[in-house]
Amino acid sequence: MQNEKLKLAILDMNNDEPNQGLRCIVDIVKSFNIEVDYQVFNVRAKNELPDLNFDIYISSGGPDSPLEEGAWRQPYLNLIQQLWDFNLKSYGKKKYVFFICYSFQVVCHYFELGELKPRKSTSFGILPIHKTAAGKKDILLEGLDDPYYAVDSRDWQLVQPRLNVFKEHGASILSLEKIRTHVEYERAIMAVRFSQEFVGTQFHPEADPIGMHTHFSEDINKQIVITNFGEAKYKRMMDRMDDPDKIIKTYAHILPTFIRLAIEQNKQQLITS
């Protein structure tokens, strides 16, 4: 029984739009193939959802408004609530869930943790992210610099945290957006621990620097970035991809740590049950 593989569900929220994120998630999960079997579910485009018989769930980023009322939305939120309720009632085995960007925004809105609203302009690039006091003590961010760097690509943001709701759920803010001294905009909430088992980021911890470098070196993708954000931002982004203290470190740490901890906790439950 102790050698039985855990089951991991990847919830693809990309709505069939081409992206690098899903490949990156799959690559990270495959590195645990001795201990984990995985399955991908196309949530938004095909209304596919896993049942409760998985041990670990990773819900991806995706395009468009996180407030979209598609046919997938209520079944998806029902699943998240069922997983949350399972953990509340279970004194043994737990369900572990990681939310990335779009999924993070959808779930933060569902739990009413703050105000979800469009940004004044798209946040795009490899940007610094600052740890809060809680983030400095959280094992998920342990070993990362402060600030650490991650790929940010979003038109929406979670701001104005409802601290009473955070307290009610036992949730904590782990990271905030970069400090912007030249403007008075609120700093977005970039990472939240909803519980011991639920955690999420508004950035992309799965971003693979090698894959990204290849993708953005292609002329068509390079020109899209330069047209929308300028040549200086493009050059800065490409320089930061090669820096071992930036997204390489984030890629190697956050999602792998989440998966490894979920595996260890599940093994521990098998020993003690």
Q: Which residues of 1-34 are buried (b: 16+ CB within 10 A; e: fewer)?
A: eeeeebebbbbbbbbeeebbbbebbeebbeebee
At which residue do the structure tokens 């569902």 appear? 110
Regarding predicted confidence, which is higher, 19 or 8?
Answer: 8
d(CA 167, CA 165): 5
Domain 6-120+128-147+155-206+247-272 CATH (choose: 3.40.50.880, 1.10.10.10, 3.40.50.720, 3.20.20.80): 3.40.50.880
End-to-end CA distance of the chain: 12
Q: What is the mean pLDDT of residues 244-255?
A: 89
CA distance 119 to 176: 15
pLDDT tens digits along 138-171: 999 998 999 999 988 788 999 999 999 999 999 9
Dump pLDDT digits (tens) for 193-240: 999 999 999 999 998 887 777 777 788 778 877 887 788 878 887 877
What is the pTM (predicted TM-score) of this model? 0.90
* Residue 58: predicted pLDDT: 98
Q: Is the pLDDT of residue 249 over 50?
A: yes
Integer-rounded Cα Rg, in Å, for the chain is 18
**For the chain, how long is the longest CA-to-CA vector?**
58
Confidence (pLDDT) at 178? 73
For residue 96, the SS3 value is strand
Indicate the pLDDT class of residue 1, thresholds 50, 70 and 90: very low
34-68 tens-digit pLDDT = 999 999 999 999 999 999 999 999 999 999 999 99
Q: State pLDDT tens for residues 92-144.
A: 889 999 999 999 999 999 999 999 999 887 777 788 999 999 999 999 999 89
Q: What is the percent of the chain with per-residue pLDDT over 70, rounded to a whole number? A: 95
pLDDT, tens digit, 9 for 90 and up, residues 258-273: 999 999 998 887 666 5
Tell me how far apart the alpha carbons of residues 200 and 59 are, in angstroms, rounded to a whole number.
9
pLDDT at 23: 92
